[in-house]
Amino acid sequence: MDFNLNEEQQMIYEYGQNLAKDFDRAYWVNCAETRTFPTEMYKKVADDGFIGIMVPEEYGGAGLGMFEMALFQEGLSNMGIPLLSLVVGATMSLSPIGDHGTEEQKQKYLPAGCAGDIRFCFAITEPDAGTNTMRATTMIKEDGNGRYKLNGRKTFITDAEGSDYMLVVTRNVSHTEVAKKTDGFTIVILDSKAPGIEMQPIDVSISIPEMQYQLFFDDVDIGPENILGEVGKGFEILFESLNPERIILAAVATGMGRYAMERAVEYANDRVVFDRPIGAYQALQHPLAKGKTEIELASLMTRKAAWLFDRKQACGAESNMAKLAASTAATNAVDASLQCFGGNGFTKEYGIFDIYPFVRLLKTAPLNNEMVLNYISEHVMGLPRSY
């Protein structure tokens, strides 16, 4: 087993450091506070070839794997510049289109997506179904001409208004009428400006550039060109995207935890109280050392999950553990860092408290850690299902 990164992987991991020369944390924070999409930064990432890391070369991508995507995301977050639209938009959408799209769909979406000319959002969550996606009620129904009408609602959809297209998880058969609860799902690709789609922003208490939206679908016209994969086989596509989402967000969480701790170490070495740098006091050292250990352990599990994914080996256990470990480690790391800053930690100038809501989100979304623990209990350890 080799834990070393090759030259290309090292370059991908360090890309965030180069990007931050032009687009640093301060740029990102300004975008977050003004709720402005970081268009220039996104374009630069696209021009440098990083949006399509996992897209095959013939469609404008780099033809690399999840391992490289996770390194890229971790490296950006190490610099304090996480971009949700690169996770839920670029990665979660381009990969399924690459894997399940028709040739026409691939030609239409992948090169433009890799070039950063079009953006995607990914809509799963519904207000009533919540975590229980099986109970989704956003439906497509045949209208008799080989076309469908889409009706329903989605909520908390990141970057919906800024996106050009959306991948929407729908049902073509109600959950009350299917033999198996995973039957009857269909994923559709929609033009975000299609007639019948309405959006309402949701004001969330997390400072990120991307806004969240409620979506309302009223008789939206759907044809074969909008269907990703087969009608009724959408759950397989959705299932394939769950581990990647957990792996990538774990990578983002570890990077953000590392960023917060590096700021704390700088500050604790510099700030003198009672005639010594506060970093000399074990009461501050030990939580930081513990946080550092937890972050590096989570990073290791994230890389293992990505490595397994790229080899098409089962990675559900590792992806879930990575997501649990990383979101917990990052939250603890930010808390330990915040304590070092004393009152300054709560100021806009130092910007440490502002990291907390973002990393804390990752305990709840995209899947809450209780469901992650349920998965580990049931599927990894063989305990009875609890819900």
Ligand X SMILES: Cc1cc2nc3c(=O)[nH]c(=O)nc-3n(C[C@H](O)[C@H](O)[C@H](O)COP(=O)(O)OP(=O)(O)OC[C@H]3O[C@@H](n4cnc5c(N)ncnc54)[C@H](O)[C@@H]3O)c2cc1C
Q: Which is nearer to ligand X, 67 or 156 (CB)?
A: 156
CB of residue 76 to ligand X, shortest distance in Å: 18
Q: Which is nearer to ligand X, 211 or 278 (CB)?
A: 211
Q: Which is nearer to ligand X, 286 or 379 (CB)?
A: 379
Kindly report the backbone phi and psi dihedral angles of residue 200, in degrees, each rounded to the nearest multiple of 5, phi listed first: -130, 125
Distance separating alpha carbons of residues 93 and 106, to the nearest angstrom:
11
Q: Which is nearer to ligand X, 279 or 366 (CB)?
A: 366
CB of residue 48 to ligand X, shortest distance in Å: 24
Report which secondary-structure segment, H or E, holds 155.
Answer: strand 148-158
CB of residue 57 to ligand X, shortest distance in Å: 28
Kindly report the backbone phi and psi dihedral angles of residue 373, in degrees, each rounded to the nearest multiple of 5, phi listed first: -65, -35
Three-state secondary-structure class, residue 302? helix
CB of residue 196 to ligand X, shortest distance in Å: 19
Q: Which is nearer to ligand X, 143 or 370 (CB)?
A: 370
Distance separating alpha carbons of residues 381 and 119, to the nearest angstrom:
39
Q: How distant, in Å, are the alpha carbons of 32, 44, 253, 329 from that of 12?
A: 25, 14, 17, 23
Q: Which is nearer to ligand X, 131 or 137 (CB)?
A: 131
Q: Which is nearer to ligand X, 67 or 375 (CB)?
A: 375
CB of residue 158 to ligand X, shortest distance in Å: 3
DSSP characters over 166-208: EEEEEESS-TTS-SSTTSSEEEEEEETT-TTEEEEEE--SS--
Tokens of 347: 């100021």
Three-state secondary-structure class, residue 222? strand
Q: Which is nearer to ligand X, 371 or 380 (CB)?
A: 371
The residue among 114, 112, 95 whose CA lies nearest residue 241 is 95
- Name residues whose C-beta falls within 8 Å of residue 9's C-beta, 6 or more positions apart in sequence: 67, 68, 71
Q: Tell me which residues touch ligand X (CB under 6 A).
A: 88, 121-125, 130-131, 156-158, 204, 206, 212, 361, 364-368, 370-371, 374, 387
Q: How distant, in Å, are the alpha carbons of 78, 156, 199, 221, 343 from that of 212?
A: 24, 5, 10, 24, 31
Q: Which is nearer to ligand X, 130 or 223 (CB)?
A: 130
> In this chain, which residue has its C-beta nearest to ligand X?
130
CB of residue 151 to ligand X, shortest distance in Å: 17
Which class for 229: exposed (0-12), middle (13-18), buried (19 or more C-beta within 10 A)?
A: buried
CB of residue 81 to ligand X, shortest distance in Å: 17
Neighbouring CB atoms inside 10 A of 26's CB total 12
Distance separating alpha carbons of residues 369 and 253, to the nearest angstrom:
14
CB of residue 358 to ligand X, shortest distance in Å: 9
CB of residue 281 to ligand X, shortest distance in Å: 35
